[in-house]
Amino acid sequence: MSATVESVIVAIDGPAGTGKSSTSRAVAAELGLSYLDTGAQYRAITWWMISNGVDTADAAAIAAAADKPAIVSGTDPAGPTITVDGADASGPIRTQDVSSKVSAVSAVPEVRTRITELQRSIAAAAPLGIVVEGRDIGTTVLPDADLKIFLTASAEARAARRSGELKGSDLAATREALIKRDAADSSRKTSPLAKAADAVEVDTTDLTLQQVIECVVTLVREKQAGE
Protein backbone atom coordinates (compact mmCIF):
# COMPACT_ATOMS: atom_id res chain seq x y z
CA MET A 1 0.00 0.00 0.00
CA SER A 2 1.25 3.46 -0.87
CA ALA A 3 2.61 5.47 2.03
CA THR A 4 0.48 8.41 0.86
CA VAL A 5 -2.80 6.56 1.34
CA GLU A 6 -4.69 7.59 4.46
CA SER A 7 -6.76 5.29 6.65
CA VAL A 8 -10.33 5.19 5.40
CA ILE A 9 -13.60 3.54 6.41
CA VAL A 10 -15.76 2.55 3.44
CA ALA A 11 -19.39 1.43 3.82
CA ILE A 12 -20.86 -0.56 0.93
CA ASP A 13 -24.57 -1.32 1.12
CA GLY A 14 -27.14 -2.80 -1.22
CA PRO A 15 -29.47 -5.75 -1.78
CA ALA A 16 -28.33 -9.30 -2.52
CA GLY A 17 -26.87 -10.02 -5.94
CA THR A 18 -25.45 -6.56 -6.63
CA GLY A 19 -21.86 -7.73 -6.26
CA LYS A 20 -21.25 -6.33 -2.78
CA SER A 21 -19.08 -9.16 -1.47
CA SER A 22 -16.90 -9.63 -4.56
CA THR A 23 -16.49 -5.89 -4.99
CA SER A 24 -15.76 -5.18 -1.33
CA ARG A 25 -13.15 -7.94 -1.02
CA ALA A 26 -11.38 -6.88 -4.20
CA VAL A 27 -11.36 -3.19 -3.27
CA ALA A 28 -10.04 -3.95 0.21
CA ALA A 29 -7.31 -6.19 -1.22
CA GLU A 30 -6.24 -3.62 -3.82
CA LEU A 31 -6.08 -0.78 -1.29
CA GLY A 32 -4.55 -2.78 1.57
CA LEU A 33 -7.60 -2.42 3.80
CA SER A 34 -9.36 -4.85 6.11
CA TYR A 35 -12.67 -6.35 4.96
CA LEU A 36 -15.85 -7.26 6.83
CA ASP A 37 -18.83 -9.19 5.48
CA THR A 38 -21.56 -8.23 7.94
CA GLY A 39 -24.07 -10.51 6.27
CA ALA A 40 -21.93 -13.48 7.28
CA GLN A 41 -22.30 -12.42 10.90
CA TYR A 42 -26.08 -12.42 10.67
CA ARG A 43 -25.92 -15.78 8.91
CA ALA A 44 -23.65 -17.05 11.69
CA ILE A 45 -26.03 -16.10 14.47
CA THR A 46 -28.92 -17.58 12.45
CA TRP A 47 -27.00 -20.85 12.02
CA TRP A 48 -26.31 -20.92 15.76
CA MET A 49 -30.03 -20.44 16.50
CA ILE A 50 -30.97 -23.30 14.16
CA SER A 51 -28.22 -25.56 15.52
CA ASN A 52 -29.26 -24.94 19.11
CA GLY A 53 -32.96 -25.53 18.62
CA VAL A 54 -34.10 -21.92 18.91
CA ASP A 55 -37.37 -21.33 17.04
CA THR A 56 -36.45 -18.78 14.37
CA ALA A 57 -40.11 -17.76 14.12
CA ASP A 58 -40.13 -16.78 17.81
CA ALA A 59 -38.68 -13.29 18.19
CA ALA A 60 -38.67 -13.50 21.99
CA ALA A 61 -36.68 -16.74 21.94
CA ILE A 62 -34.20 -15.27 19.49
CA ALA A 63 -33.82 -12.13 21.61
CA ALA A 64 -33.17 -14.18 24.73
CA ALA A 65 -30.35 -16.08 23.01
CA ALA A 66 -28.80 -13.21 21.04
CA ASP A 67 -25.82 -12.76 23.39
CA LYS A 68 -24.93 -16.44 23.67
CA PRO A 69 -22.90 -17.31 20.54
CA ALA A 70 -19.28 -16.17 20.31
CA ILE A 71 -18.85 -14.85 16.75
CA VAL A 72 -15.37 -13.97 15.49
CA SER A 73 -14.74 -12.50 12.03
CA GLY A 74 -11.34 -12.57 10.31
CA THR A 75 -10.86 -9.42 8.20
CA ASP A 76 -8.18 -10.44 5.69
CA PRO A 77 -9.79 -9.85 2.25
CA ALA A 78 -7.65 -12.63 0.79
CA GLY A 79 -9.27 -15.14 3.13
CA PRO A 80 -12.02 -13.82 5.38
CA THR A 81 -13.03 -16.24 8.11
CA ILE A 82 -15.89 -16.59 10.54
CA THR A 83 -16.17 -18.84 13.56
CA VAL A 84 -19.01 -19.51 15.98
CA ASP A 85 -18.01 -20.75 19.43
CA GLY A 86 -14.61 -21.58 17.99
CA ALA A 87 -15.90 -23.66 15.06
CA ASP A 88 -15.45 -22.70 11.41
CA ALA A 89 -18.87 -21.58 10.16
CA SER A 90 -17.96 -20.42 6.65
CA GLY A 91 -19.62 -23.41 4.99
CA PRO A 92 -22.67 -24.03 7.19
CA ILE A 93 -23.84 -20.40 7.06
CA ARG A 94 -24.32 -20.59 3.28
CA THR A 95 -26.97 -23.31 3.32
CA GLN A 96 -30.48 -22.70 1.99
CA ASP A 97 -31.89 -23.32 5.47
CA VAL A 98 -29.90 -20.39 6.85
CA SER A 99 -30.70 -18.24 3.80
CA SER A 100 -34.42 -18.77 4.30
CA LYS A 101 -34.33 -17.76 7.97
CA VAL A 102 -31.70 -15.04 8.21
CA SER A 103 -34.10 -12.15 7.49
CA ALA A 104 -36.37 -13.14 10.37
CA VAL A 105 -33.46 -13.51 12.80
CA SER A 106 -31.83 -10.29 11.58
CA ALA A 107 -35.04 -8.33 12.16
CA VAL A 108 -34.95 -8.95 15.94
CA PRO A 109 -33.69 -5.72 17.61
CA GLU A 110 -31.55 -7.54 20.18
CA VAL A 111 -29.75 -9.38 17.39
CA ARG A 112 -29.08 -6.17 15.48
CA THR A 113 -27.81 -4.43 18.63
CA ARG A 114 -25.44 -7.30 19.38
CA ILE A 115 -24.07 -7.58 15.84
CA THR A 116 -23.88 -3.81 15.30
CA GLU A 117 -21.69 -3.45 18.40
CA LEU A 118 -19.46 -6.22 17.09
CA GLN A 119 -19.18 -4.55 13.67
CA ARG A 120 -18.31 -1.17 15.15
CA SER A 121 -15.57 -2.66 17.32
CA ILE A 122 -14.04 -4.44 14.33
CA ALA A 123 -14.10 -1.27 12.22
CA ALA A 124 -12.55 0.78 15.02
CA ALA A 125 -9.72 -1.74 15.41
CA ALA A 126 -8.78 -1.90 11.71
CA PRO A 127 -5.24 -0.47 11.58
CA LEU A 128 -5.28 0.90 8.03
CA GLY A 129 -8.99 1.25 7.43
CA ILE A 130 -11.70 -1.18 6.36
CA VAL A 131 -14.32 -1.91 3.74
CA VAL A 132 -17.55 -2.97 5.47
CA GLU A 133 -20.37 -4.40 3.37
CA GLY A 134 -23.96 -5.01 4.34
CA ARG A 135 -27.42 -3.51 4.26
CA ASP A 136 -27.41 -0.83 6.97
CA ILE A 137 -23.74 0.12 7.26
CA GLY A 138 -23.96 3.69 5.97
CA THR A 139 -27.25 4.41 7.71
CA THR A 140 -26.88 2.70 11.09
CA VAL A 141 -23.64 0.84 11.78
CA LEU A 142 -21.10 3.39 10.55
CA PRO A 143 -23.01 6.62 9.83
CA ASP A 144 -19.73 8.57 9.99
CA ALA A 145 -17.95 6.38 7.40
CA ASP A 146 -15.55 8.32 5.18
CA LEU A 147 -17.24 7.01 2.04
CA LYS A 148 -20.65 5.39 1.58
CA ILE A 149 -21.55 3.46 -1.55
CA PHE A 150 -24.92 1.91 -2.40
CA LEU A 151 -24.83 -0.79 -5.09
CA THR A 152 -27.99 -1.49 -7.07
CA ALA A 153 -28.95 -3.70 -10.03
CA SER A 154 -32.12 -4.90 -11.68
CA ALA A 155 -33.86 -7.91 -10.14
CA GLU A 156 -33.18 -9.85 -13.35
CA ALA A 157 -29.45 -9.14 -13.26
CA ARG A 158 -29.20 -10.00 -9.59
CA ALA A 159 -31.11 -13.25 -10.04
CA ALA A 160 -28.86 -14.26 -12.93
CA ARG A 161 -25.75 -13.64 -10.84
CA ARG A 162 -27.09 -15.47 -7.81
CA SER A 163 -28.21 -18.41 -9.96
CA GLY A 164 -24.69 -18.58 -11.35
CA GLU A 165 -23.36 -18.81 -7.78
CA LEU A 166 -25.93 -21.42 -6.78
CA LYS A 167 -25.34 -24.15 -9.35
CA GLY A 168 -28.51 -25.75 -10.65
CA SER A 169 -30.84 -23.18 -9.11
CA ASP A 170 -34.00 -22.04 -10.90
CA LEU A 171 -33.69 -18.48 -12.23
CA ALA A 172 -37.34 -17.54 -11.66
CA ALA A 173 -37.32 -18.99 -8.15
CA THR A 174 -34.06 -17.18 -7.38
CA ARG A 175 -35.51 -13.88 -8.60
CA GLU A 176 -38.63 -14.39 -6.49
CA ALA A 177 -36.52 -15.21 -3.42
CA LEU A 178 -34.39 -12.09 -3.90
CA ILE A 179 -37.44 -9.84 -4.22
CA LYS A 180 -38.93 -11.41 -1.09
CA ARG A 181 -35.65 -10.87 0.78
CA ASP A 182 -35.49 -7.24 -0.39
CA ALA A 183 -39.01 -6.62 0.87
CA ALA A 184 -38.27 -8.18 4.25
CA ASP A 185 -35.01 -6.29 4.70
CA SER A 186 -36.42 -2.95 3.52
CA SER A 187 -39.56 -3.09 5.66
CA ARG A 188 -38.14 -4.25 8.99
CA LYS A 189 -38.48 -1.73 11.80
CA THR A 190 -34.89 -1.99 13.04
CA SER A 191 -32.15 -0.78 10.68
CA PRO A 192 -33.87 -1.51 7.36
CA LEU A 193 -32.02 -1.85 4.07
CA ALA A 194 -31.78 1.74 2.88
CA LYS A 195 -29.52 4.08 0.96
CA ALA A 196 -27.84 6.71 3.12
CA ALA A 197 -28.58 10.27 2.05
CA ASP A 198 -24.87 10.92 1.41
CA ALA A 199 -24.13 7.60 -0.31
CA VAL A 200 -22.88 7.35 -3.90
CA GLU A 201 -25.21 5.05 -5.86
CA VAL A 202 -23.63 2.69 -8.38
CA ASP A 203 -25.94 0.71 -10.69
CA THR A 204 -24.12 -2.51 -11.52
CA THR A 205 -26.75 -3.93 -13.90
CA ASP A 206 -24.73 -3.38 -17.07
CA LEU A 207 -21.26 -3.40 -15.53
CA THR A 208 -18.79 -6.25 -15.25
CA LEU A 209 -17.44 -7.05 -11.81
CA GLN A 210 -14.08 -5.56 -12.78
CA GLN A 211 -15.75 -2.31 -13.86
CA VAL A 212 -17.58 -2.07 -10.53
CA ILE A 213 -14.34 -2.70 -8.64
CA GLU A 214 -12.50 -0.03 -10.64
CA CYS A 215 -15.34 2.44 -10.04
CA VAL A 216 -15.28 1.91 -6.27
CA VAL A 217 -11.46 1.99 -6.05
CA THR A 218 -11.54 5.32 -7.88
CA LEU A 219 -14.14 6.70 -5.47
CA VAL A 220 -12.06 5.62 -2.46
CA ARG A 221 -8.86 7.12 -3.86
CA GLU A 222 -10.63 10.37 -4.66
CA LYS A 223 -11.92 10.51 -1.08
CA GLN A 224 -8.43 9.84 0.30
CA ALA A 225 -6.85 12.45 -1.98
CA GLY A 226 -9.38 15.05 -0.91
CA GLU A 227 -8.58 14.68 2.80
Span 202-224, pLDDT tens digits: 999 999 999 999 999 999 999 88
Q: So what's the pLDDT on residue 168?
A: 57
Nearest residue to 146 via CA among 184, 195, 188, 199:
199
In 3-state terms, the chain is what percent helix, strand and coil (to 5)? 50, 15, 35
When pLDDT is cut at 50, 70 and 90, the band that residue 1 belongs to is very low
When pLDDT is cut at 50, 70 and 90, the band that residue 190 belongs to is confident
Q: What percent of the chain has pLDDT over 70?
A: 91
The helix or strand, by DSSP H or E, that contains position 93, with its residue range, turns out to be: none
pTM: 0.85
Q: So what's the pLDDT on residue 163?
A: 66
When pLDDT is cut at 50, 70 and 90, the band that residue 159 belongs to is confident
- The answer to whether 157 touches 65, Cβ cutoff 8 Å, is no
Residue 79 has pLDDT above 60, yes or no: yes
Residue 4 has pLDDT above 50, yes or no: no
DSSP annotation string for 36-62 = EEHHHHHHHHHHHHHHTT--TT-HHHH
Distance CA 14, CA 193 (A): 7
Rounded to an integer, the average pLDDT of 174-184 is 74
Span 96-155, pLDDT tens digits: 999 999 989 999 999 999 999 999 999 999 999 999 999 899 999 999 999 999 999 888
When pLDDT is cut at 50, 70 and 90, the band that residue 35 belongs to is very high
Report residue 113: phi and psi, to 5°. Answer: -60, -45
**N- to C-terminal Cα distance for the chain?**
17
Biggest alpha carbon distance in the chain?
Answer: 51
Helix axes 38-51, 109-125, angle to 10 degrees: 130
Distance CA 56, CA 184 (A): 15
Span 45-67, pLDDT tens digits: 999 999 999 999 999 999 999 99
Q: So what's the pLDDT on residue 138?
A: 96
Q: Which residues have CB under 8 Å from 160's CB, separation 6+?
A: 171
Q: So what's the pLDDT on residue 6?
A: 65
